[in-house]
Amino acid sequence: MTGKRRKFDRRLGQLRYRKLFIIATEGVKTEPQYFERFSGSNSVVRVHCLKGKHDSAPPHVLKRMKEHLDREGLKPSDKFPWEAWLVVDKDQWTEEQLAQLHKWTKGADIYKFALSNPSFEYWLLLHFEDGKGVANSQQCTTRLKQYLPDYDKGIDIRKITQEMIDDAVERAKARDNPPCQDWPRKPGSTVYKLVESIQKA
């Protein structure tokens, strides 16, 4: 960036930094609503939706993420703490496409990748139950509507308590055992890793 200081600059000498999370989501409604809940005194959650009007394939998704980081002037060498997360669903991607996203995370420790299989609704479902017997996105949404009857690709985050979030993390961990090195091949979600990182910030 030239002649412009990014809005997330932190002055040298400040005793405590607030951690910044850039969360690039595939969805444009539910995921941003969910993650904005975590913005608080110890963290800044910036949700940037990756899904554009065209070109949703991983190369274009990654291109949008990289361009966003460039615009903000964010670099792995920055002195203040931050992380960049790609949050996607399994049901729209092939193994080869997902591998491209996972490869991006190898570029820096602060580049992360969280996947819900089959969809983000599975992560939401884990706030209420263990999610057994769910095989596809349609089943997942149907089951979720038993708990959130008005659910339609949007969520009233006031209905999600801290206790429910903690339960979802534990249920997701139990399904991710041993922890996968890339993404879950069976119904599950590694979004718990992102939630834990935010809550520890």
Q: Give the total residue count for the chain.
A: 201
Among the ranges given (83-92, 102-111, 112-121, 125-134), the one the predictor scored with the smallest mean pLDDT:
83-92
Residue 200 token pair: 């520890």
Residue 138 token pair: 């349609």
pTM exceeding the 0.85 threshold for the entire prediction: yes
Tell which wins on pLDDT, 135 or 154. 135
Mean pLDDT of the chain: 85
Q: pLDDT band at residue 195, thresholds of 50, 70 and 90?
A: very high
Break the chain into its structural domains and give their ranges: 19-200
Model pLDDT, residue 61: 75
Residue 17 token pair: 């930094």
DSSP H helical ranges for 113-161:
120-125, 137-144
The tens digit of pLDDT for each residue in 16-58 reads 557 889 998 887 788 888 998 888 777 788 877 766 665 566 7
Whether residue 178 is preceded by a cis peptide bond, meaning omega within 30 degrees of 0, is yes
Model pLDDT, residue 173: 96
Residue among 103, 92, 116, 102 nearest 184 (CA) = 116
DSSP-based three-state secondary structure for 140 = helix
The tens digit of pLDDT for each residue in 75-109 reads 999 888 899 999 989 987 889 989 999 999 999 99
